[in-house]
Amino acid sequence: MISAMESGILPFCWTNFDTIIPALFGKDMVPAEIYENNMGRGFMMELPQDVGTGRVEFIEISDQMRILIFDCTWFNRRKFLVHDDDWVRFNFGLSLDVTMNLDGSQKVHIDTASWRVINNPDGLTTIEEIPANTRSTWVTICCKPEYIARLSGYHEDDLPNPLRSSFCEKSGISFYQPFDLTSRLNTITNEILNNSLSGGFRLSLCLAKANEILCHAIYHVLHPEPKNKIPAKLDGRDKDAIARAREILRRNFANPPTVREISTEIGINRNKLYYGFKYLFDQTISEYVQDLRLTEAHHLLRETDLGLLEIATMVGFRHQCNFSTAIKKRYGSNPVTIRNEP
């Protein structure tokens, strides 16, 4: 059962959901709902009260597509060893806090609304960790490269270079590319998460929305939006609210509130906050928080005798290795070198 595996790493293989459900919920856990039609099948699992709150859904569409829906909070940390095999992942996150270790060399921490493409070659795995008591609200669509080719109207061998480099290259290393969550992608993700249909209707809707969101995502890869595109109209009240959001983050960068919590406090919707912030300040919320953390960390390294782990914790890093990597990327030197510089 879950309690016996809380400290372990759970295997997760996109090819076979039948191995994932027992690993995550225990072999005796019964789905709250099973739905199917001639296109595939789905399982809705509700978290036991002693494990967490919310639900996880697994949907299989023939042998070409998998859909994973997370709308839950775990009471204990979850750590997964993910086998992608030859599947390409599209992850659309509204609320999440996850650390990914790609092919043992790339470390990525995601804590703001965004979407990303992940392509791990055969034989490589990803270790992904979700901390306890954080809300996970996201949709992952996993499909084969040939499925992407069919959606885009190209033969797999003739895909444009941006698609080939993202989805089809066999370089032997992991591909990871993050993107901003556009208003349309945000809406479709919510429609997958929050529709009230059941049975075969639910599966059909999820498939239709999965294809829709994939088409928008693939088109975005081919035709990226200008970096400084003006978001939805921002009036004076909106700009004042977003400025207040920036001040809230400045005061609480070590343990910042979520985008949802800030948007509620300042009185504008999450989408306007996210894109308005980037438009007004030329950096995303997560980039701003990271900038504050690293600036303060550099000050503490130079001006105090505090230990590295203590400094990392004070500025909001959960793991010292992530702290060291971020410092080196920002300043070109590791924390010890910075501390010892004259």
CA neighbours within 13 Å on the CB side: how many for 86? 10
Q: How far apart are CA 181 and CA 259, in angstroms?
A: 13
pLDDT of residue 3: 35
* CATH class of the domain at 288-340: mainly alpha
Contacts of residue 124, Cβ cutoff 8 Å, sequence gap at least 6: 84, 102, 103, 172, 173, 174
In this predicted structure, the answer to whether residue 6 has a pLDDT above a threshold of 70 is no
Convert the pLDDT of each residue in 23-73 to its tens digit: 778 778 888 899 989 989 999 999 988 889 999 999 998 788 999 999 999
Q: Using 50, 70 and 90 to split pLDDT, how confident is the model at 167?
A: low
Domain range list for the chain: 2-222, 236-282, 288-340
Query: What is the enclosing helix (H) or strand (E) of 34?
Result: strand 33-37
Q: What is the pLDDT of residue 226?
A: 56
Residue 186 vs residue 156, higher pLDDT: 186
Computed over every residue of the chain, the mean pLDDT equals 84
Q: Which residues contact 114 (CB under 8 A, 6 or more apart)?
A: 93, 178, 179, 180, 181
CATH number corresponding to 2-222? 2.60.120.10
Between 9-23, 48-62, 77-91, 305-319, the lowest mean confidence (pLDDT) is in 9-23
d(CA 193, CA 147): 23
Element housing 45 (H / E): strand 40-46
Q: Same topology for domains 2-222 and 288-340, yes or no? A: no
Q: Does residue 140 have a pLDDT over 90?
A: yes
Say if residues 247 and 205 touch (Cβ distance below 8 Å): no
What does the pLDDT read at residue 29?
Answer: 84
Judged by DSSP in three states, 158 sits in helix
